[in-house]
Amino acid sequence: MSFREVMRGKAWKYGDDVDTDVIIPARYLNSSDPTELARHCMEDIDAAFASRVTPGDFIVAGKNFGCGSSREHAPIAIKASGASAVVARTFARIFYRNAFNMGLPIFEAPDAVDEIETGDRLAVDMERGSLRNETKGTEYRFTPIPPFMRELVSAGGLLNYIAKRKKGG
């Protein structure tokens, strides 16, 4: 993933405390196949999401997105659904780790999320830390991703980061 490109897509808006059980219900955790998980992504909160999401779309939510279980199936399902990123007021900490380890960009833009509605067209510049709501004609700044997380992403995820580090002694 590169930080240079501006990501564009439409928003899917949800509320506070979206938990991993609604992102990917446990009844589907007998598989770790991304395509199959994506088919049930957000199923218990929005049955239409998986069939109607288009590549590049954003999931937008309130506080504590991804709370609950440590299942990496949650960011895997979101990534495989075609969504490009998650924007929220705050993230639950295990989801936050998992998303970066997996290479799913997520960012906290507390000022922006309130006015975003489902269907709004968004343009996000991760490098500058800016989010433009093209539907509403507004623009917000957010704190760019911390340097360590960027290092993880530039290395190509946690596995490559560890492999490189171990090789380098």
Partner 1 sequence: MTLTEKILARHAGRDAVAPGELILAKVDLALGNDVTSPIAIQAFRTFGAAEVFDRERIALVPDHFTPNKDIKSAEQVKMMREFAKEFGVVNYFEIGRMGIEHVLLPDEGLVVPGDLVIGADSHTCTYGALCAFSTGVGSTDLAGAMYSGEVWLKVPETLRIVLSGRPAKWVEGKDVILHIIGEIGVDGALYRAMEYAGNGIAHLPMAWRFTMANMSIEAGAKNGIFPFDGATKAYSDGRAKRKYEVVTADPGARYADEISVDLSALEPVVAFPHLPENTRPLSAVGDVLIDQVVVGSCTNGRIEDLRSAAAVLRGRKVHDGVRMIILPATQEIFLQAMREGLMETFVEAGAAFSTPTCGPCLGGHMGILARGERAISTTNRNFVGRMGHPESEVYLSNPAVAAASAVLGRIGGPDELP
Q: Is 155 in the site for partner 1 (CB under 8 A)?
A: no
Least distance in angstroms from the C-beta of 11 to partner 1:
22
Least distance in angstroms from the C-beta of 92 to partner 1:
6
- Burial of residue 110, with CB atoms counted within 10 A of its CB: 0-12 exposed, 13-18 middle, 19 or more buried: middle
Q: How far apart are CA 26 and CA 12, in angstroms?
A: 22
**Which CB sits closer to partner 1, 74 or 122?**
74
Q: Where are the beta strands (DSSP E) in the chain?
A: 6-13, 58-61, 85-88, 106-108, 121-125, 130-133, 138-141
Q: Which residues fall within 8 angstroms of residue 113, CB to CB, at 6 or more apart? A: 60, 61, 62, 87, 88, 89
Residue 104: strand, helix, or coil = coil
The pattern of x and - marking residues 109 through 148 that bind partner 1 according to CB under 8 A reads: ---------------------------------------x
**Which CB sits closer to partner 1, 21 or 125?**
21
Q: How far apart are CA 21 and CA 85, in angstroms?
A: 19
Q: Which of 12, 14, 40, 72 binds partner 1 (CB under 8 A)?
A: 72
The binding site for partner 1 (CB under 8 A) comprises: 17, 19, 21-22, 25-27, 29-32, 44-45, 63-64, 67-73, 75-76, 90, 92-94, 97-98, 101-102, 148, 157-159, 162-163, 165-166
